[in-house]
Amino acid sequence: MSFEKLGLIEPLLRAIKDQGYTEPSPIQAQAIPIIMDKKDVLAGAQTGTGKTAGFTLPLLHRLAESKPKGTKRVRALILTPTRELAAQVEASVETYGKYLPFKSAVIFGGVKINPQITALRRGVDIVVATPGRLLDHMNQKTIDLSAVEVLILDEADRMLDMGFIRDIKKVMLELPKKRQNLLFSATFSKEIKQLANGLLNNPALIEVARSNASAESIKQVVHPVDCSRKRELLSHLITEGNWSQVLVFTRTKHGANRLTAQLDKDGITAAAIHGNKSQAARTRALKEFKEGKVRVLVATDIAARGIDIDQLPHVVNFELPNVSEDYVHRIGRTGRAGNKGVAMSLVCIDEHDYLKGIEKLMGKRVEQIKIPGFAVDPSIPAEPISQGGGRGRQGGGRGNGGGRGNGGGGNRNSRSAGSGSRNSGGGRSRN
């Protein structure tokens, strides 16, 4: 199938051609006609399959085909969980809408609000926002949402995880009751289905892969290792494999900082990206990583949303996530846009239960490969994993730069260990 057969208008087809795309991905082929038909949608797709264009293209088509109501006001609102993802989505709007007269704005925290207020006063058709900063604008009455025709929740599962459900409900109260609603999520949970039931009106269900499945283009492997030797093994893999670009995940912000410093000492250029970093620092780290100036980007789960690199070859779980669904999101940073990728997990004895949960979620075992020289010491017992505080050790023994001793203040956006329950009611960082 071609994009022409989907019925998209000529300016969009021209923009698509400029990007070198000829055929829609499965999620695009299914979602675009339904969205263009103004129906509500509940869509699930593996990350990296083109779902951003799957809603951006038909949104632009719909806005171009219908006349705005009254004065120039916001006609479409796209909510995302993180700043990086908001910037990525807005860039997609700009890319595909380059031959259309629409104006868009991206709104998130961590930067000055006044330039955003100025942009909104000039008039925009499409707003891409994180919930926290959007509420700031709503409270200051610097944004008018009374003419919104389309509401899109992107990566809705992460927004629930981060505790944005109350903010989302507050936003919905300011929107016209008659509107089109689109909910996109990489995973489907009970909470997502509950949100969909309250938001969507007789939605079309689109699921291009089994819920919570990982992409077939990603080779997954587990390397067993003692907790205290994880950093040593990571440096070994990067050096021996001559990796030029690798995204590494830790559980906590403190762990990301510590691992970055240790890699730098090993002669491997690294940068950390997490919620405690300023927006300027996060943007700079991501830019240098994409340009190849930094070999390793160490990230927490929250900050990694929005990292979109088509040919990222390697993703490493320095620590397994304590919630299995996050594993699917993490490894989805590689193997994007039809490219091959490798996802490795450095797993110590403490994390065996996490690994079992991940394999149960995906419905398959992950291949285990032992690295010569890094044999596991069978005399070491398993210990509870500290989720940012507690008795986590540092320095010698088990301290591994984020494995067992996570130390520090932890990650406010993490969920409780072991139970897998979502800490969506508690504090969350203002995006």
The string of DSSP letters for 5-29 reads GGT--HHHHHHHHHTT--S--HHHH
- Tell me the two tokens of residue 151: 């509401």
**Residue with tokens 């409270």, as numbered in its chain:** 139
Residue 118 counted as domain residue: yes
Say if CB 97 and CB 64 are below 8 A apart: no
Q: What is the pLDDT of residues 53-77, one digit of tens each?
A: 999 999 999 999 987 665 678 999 9
Range of the domain at 342: 218-368
Domain boundary at 184, 207, 230, which? 207
Number of domains in the chain: 2
Place of tokens 């390793």: 296
Q: Within this chain, do residues 323 and 257 fall inside the same structural domain, yes or no?
A: yes
303 occurs within a structural domain: yes
Shared domain for 157 and 178, answered yes or no, is yes
* 223 and 185 housed in the same domain: no
Residue 332: inside a domain: yes
Q: What is the CATH number of the domain that holds 315?
A: 3.40.50.300
Q: What is the pLDDT of residues 118-133, one digit of tens each?
A: 999 999 999 999 999 9
Two structure tokens written together for 201 = 């009106």
Helix (H, G, I), strand (E, B) or coil at 107: strand
Same domain, 259 and 235: yes
My answer on whether 56 and 198 are in the same domain is: yes
Match 């992950």 to its residue by tokens.
366
Q: At what angle do helices 324-331 and 352-362 cross, to 10 degrees?
A: 70
Q: Are residues 252 and 193 both part of a single domain? A: no
- 126 and 262 fall within a common domain: no
Task: Decide if 73 is inside a domain.
Answer: yes
Name the more confident of 186 and 6.
6
Instruction: Tell me, yes or no, whether 136 lies in a domain.
Output: yes
Q: What are 136-159's pLDDT values in tens digits?
A: 999 999 999 999 999 999 988 888
Q: Which residues pair with 41 in a beta bridge?
A: 182, 204
Q: Calculate the average pLDDT of the chain.
A: 84
Q: Quick one: pLDDT at residue 155? A: 86
118 and 203, same structural domain? yes
Same domain assignment for residues 172 and 300: no
Angle at the Cα of 184 from the Cα atoms of 355 and 335, rounded to 5 degrees? 50
- Report pTM: 0.65
- Contact call for residues 374 and 223 (beta carbons, < 8 A): yes
Predicted local distance difference test score (pLDDT) of residue 412: 33
Last residue of a domain, one of 207, 228, 245: 207
Query: Is residue 390 one of the residues assigned to a domain?
Result: no
Domain contains 419:
no
pLDDT digits (tens, 9 = 90+) for 168-184: 999 999 999 999 999 99
Q: Is residue 406 part of a domain?
A: no
Residues 282 and 310 in one domain: yes
Do 264 and 194 share a structural domain?
Answer: no
The residue among 152, 178, 207 that closes a domain is: 207
